[in-house]
Amino acid sequence: MSTYTLTGRRVLITRAADDAARWAARLTVHGAVVDVMPCVRTQRITDAGTRERLLAALHDADCLVLTSARGVDAVAGLPGVTALASAARETVAVGAATAGAMADRLGVIPYVARGGSARALGDELAARWGARSAGRRVVVVGARDGRTDVEDALRAAGACVTRVDVYRTIPAPPRQHRRNLAGDGITDVLLASPSAVTGLLNQAVVTNGVRLYAIGATTAAAIAAAALRLTAQSATPDLDGLLEAMRCAPRV
């Protein structure tokens, strides 16, 4: 872990409340004062069409990939899906939290990707399977408008991938009295999705003195579309990338 310091900086995390704890702990280690203001919420996709697509995909799946604990909860909440999900020949999780949710909700002990992110998972699985990737039937469960790194890597390796989105991220609703971030001493804001950008503007007044960091290109584009000034874009779609962007960004 880098030894640089964020002392003197008050950092706003805009993720959903139950996703913010790990980021807050890492930022605190670097000396930041952390403020959490959830700017996004998640909503399960429970229509009959989603359930039928997932049931059909799981019927003869070789592998089920789940990239978040929220996805696990959504799968477990769809009638009749849990048994088929649990019966997949191989199950894979991104991260310990997702693996724990799969054990609790689906009763399976999955393979846990070593890379720790969806971006690394596809390449890791393709390397692990080798020639067996060709024609392998993989179901990826994710969020609507989420990243497609897993599918892209596995399809490039010859796998037959079906993606089914079981939840969506939506912006936090407008607040009657929006926070003045600069007035509250916020120096840096971390944004991990376009929905978070919308939610931020629904919840707060953002001035040019506050530094904004985007986790990727789509989030950066949303910041620009909102006529806000982007300070830096993370080179990798994770907290490590955001920390590096914060380290390199000029002080205001």
Considering the domain architecture, whether residues 154 and 184 belong to the same structural domain is answered as no
Q: Which of 169, 203, 232 is the last residue of a domain?
A: 169
Distance CA 217, CA 82 (A): 35
Q: Whole-model pTM above 0.85?
A: no
Considering the domain architecture, whether residues 179 and 162 belong to the same structural domain is answered as no
What does the pLDDT read at residue 238?
84
- Angle in degrees, CA 52, 55, 60, rounded to 5: 140
What does the pLDDT read at residue 173?
95
Whether 78 maps to a domain, the answer reads: yes
Considering the domain architecture, whether residues 24 and 57 belong to the same structural domain is answered as no
What does the pLDDT read at residue 3?
63
> What angle, 0 to 180 degrees and rounded to 10, lies between the N-to-C axes of helices 239-248 and 20-29?
40
Query: Whole domain around residue 80: which residue ranges?
Result: 43-169
What does the pLDDT read at residue 25?
94
What does the pLDDT read at residue 252?
56
Whether 4 maps to a domain, the answer reads: no
Considering the domain architecture, whether residues 96 and 189 belong to the same structural domain is answered as no
Considering the domain architecture, whether residues 179 and 241 belong to the same structural domain is answered as yes
Whether 177 maps to a domain, the answer reads: yes
Q: Supply 198's token pair.
A: 């919308």
Considering the domain architecture, whether residues 31 and 58 belong to the same structural domain is answered as no
Whether 101 maps to a domain, the answer reads: yes
- In total, how many domains does the chain have? 2
Considering the domain architecture, whether residues 66 and 162 belong to the same structural domain is answered as yes
Whether 2 maps to a domain, the answer reads: no
Q: Which of 169, 191, 206 is the last residue of a domain?
A: 169
- Angle in degrees, CA 119, 120, 126, rounded to 5: 115
* Helices marked H in 60-141: 69-76, 81-86, 96-106, 118-129
- Show pLDDT as tens, one digit a residue, over the chain (252 residues): 456 789 999 999 999 887 898 899 999 999 999 999 999 999 999 999 999 999 999 998 999 999 888 999 999 999 989 988 988 899 999 888 889 999 999 999 999 877 767 777 888 888 889 988 999 999 999 998 887 888 998 999 999 999 999 999 999 999 999 999 999 999 999 999 999 999 999 999 999 889 999 998 889 999 999 999 999 999 988 888 999 999 887 665
Whether 12 contacts 181, CB under 8 Å: yes
Considering the domain architecture, whether residues 58 and 150 belong to the same structural domain is answered as yes
Whether 228 maps to a domain, the answer reads: yes
What does the pLDDT read at residue 146?
81
Whether 1 maps to a domain, the answer reads: no
Considering the domain architecture, whether residues 228 and 150 belong to the same structural domain is answered as no
Whether 57 maps to a domain, the answer reads: yes
Considering the domain architecture, whether residues 155 and 196 belong to the same structural domain is answered as no
What's the CATH number where 191 sits? 3.40.50.10090
What does the pLDDT read at residue 1?
43
Considering the domain architecture, whether residues 60 and 134 belong to the same structural domain is answered as yes
Tens-place pLDDT, residues 96-141: 888 999 999 999 999 987 776 777 788 888 888 998 899 999 999 9
Q: Which of 142, 169, 196 is the last residue of a domain?
A: 169
Distance CA 11, CA 6 (A): 9
Considering the domain architecture, whether residues 181 and 162 belong to the same structural domain is answered as no
